[in-house]
Amino acid sequence: MNTLLTTVLCLVALGGGGDEKDKPKLEVRIKATTIVRGLDVTIGELCEITPAGREALAIGQVPFGPAPTGGHSRVVSRTEIVQTLAAAGHDVGTFKFDGAAEVVVQPVNVDVPAQDLLDAATAALQAVLALEGGDVEFEAPGRVRHVQAPPGRRSQEIVARVRSNRTGPDSAVVDVDVLVDGTSAKRIPVPFKLTRYQQLLKTTGVIRQGTPLGADNLAVVREPLAQATGLYLSTFEQVQGLEAARNLQANSRITLGDAMPPAVIRKGDIVTVVLTQGRVKVTAKAIANHDAALAARITLTNISSRSAITGVVAAPGLVVVQNR
């Protein structure tokens, strides 16, 4: 509809022209003031439309524009109302416009309880943590900012969602939406601090190198993950049959390198060394320079030549030197 036609229709609707036989189908009485509960303003909130019926209901549902925000009011003129109806495709020339020349639109806002926002955020975070698994504790913010929103024509509800649908190593943000009639009116980010825990094996006292590891000198403890970043052992099954690879202090976390299989050759043992070169197999006697477990590398000293030898423990008392 072009501008000229809109202007003509507005003039007709405001009282100019028309034959006596053309009686208006509907009367649109403009209110002096109106209170809006939703996020937008409809013609039905600005005007009283009679007689009641399907057409009057349809006209009343025509959107005029967004509701005022921040507690401010807005003045809407009769001309703006006529133009809105004409732009929506209604024949305003058949309507009778009456009432005030302009209407003052005032929004309604209510407080959204901070505890309700926090409860929704907490529930959303707990659901994601349950899916991710692990031992996690969270700390909610000390306060959530004050929020106001329209009550809505039909409903006001709170919906929360963890940002990106996942948590970070030590934090998470939950976006809480205040929905007014199904549309987001406010979005409040609620940050949480996370602390992740894991089970670790720790020494209950001083353990000397070579001492078997087990429940008599170790305990399973729960510690923050941020303070336990390493290849730490967490169950007694992981140290079954192993012994301390070095001297361990009390209250120490057990790493993969702290445990080793028991030595089958001890420092000072005289062992047989087998060296194969082609079809020639040479054996010699040597002294172990340190303890070594089965399949571990070991250094030895040849008894006859006093030269150094490096080989692999093949069995108790037997070391094999790799082919060169």
Range in 165-169, 183-187, 200-204, 279-283 the model is least confident about: 279-283
Query: Which residues lie closer than 8 Å to 235 by C-beta, 6 or more apart?
Result: 199, 201, 220
pLDDT, residue 229, reads 61
pLDDT, residue 188, reads 96
Distance of alpha carbon 193 from alpha carbon 249, whole angstroms: 33
Instruction: Give, in order, the Cα–Cα distances in Å from 206 to each of 17, 202, 213.
Output: 106, 11, 12
Could you tell me the pLDDT band of residue 12, with boundaries at 50, 70 and 90? Answer: very low
pLDDT in tens, 65-108: 999 987 789 999 999 999 999 999 999 999 999 999 999 999 99
As given in the structure block, the two tokens for residue 251 are: 């209250």
pLDDT, residue 148, reads 93
pLDDT, residue 22, reads 55
Please say if the pLDDT value at position 154 is more than 70.
yes
Please say if the pLDDT value at position 20 is more than 60.
no
Range in 18-22, 249-253, 261-265 the model is least confident about: 18-22
Please say if the pLDDT value at position 19 is more than 70.
no
Residue 288: CB atoms within 10 Å:
21
Please say if the pLDDT value at position 5 is more than 50.
no
Please say if the pLDDT value at position 161 is more than 90.
yes
Kindly compute the dihedral angle of the four CA atoms of residues 228, 231, 234, 238, in this order, to the nearest 10 degrees: -170
Distance of alpha carbon 102 from alpha carbon 45, whole angstroms: 13
pLDDT, residue 230, reads 66
Kindly compute the dihedral angle of the four CA atoms of residues 56, 62, 67, 72, in this order, to the nearest 10 degrees: -50
> How confident is the model over 38-47, as a mean pLDDT?
96
Could you tell me the pLDDT band of residue 277, with boundaries at 50, 70 and 90? Answer: confident
Please say if the pLDDT value at position 238 is more than 80.
yes
Domains of the chain with bracketed CATH? 3-108 (2.60.480.10), 111-195 (no CATH), 197-260 (3.90.1210.10), 263-321 (2.30.30.760)
pLDDT, residue 91, reads 92
Distance of alpha carbon 241 from alpha carbon 254, whole angstroms: 15
| Nearest by Cα to 159 from 206, 127, 135, 194 | 127
3-class secondary structure, 308: strand
pLDDT, residue 104, reads 97
Q: What is the pTM of this model?
A: 0.71
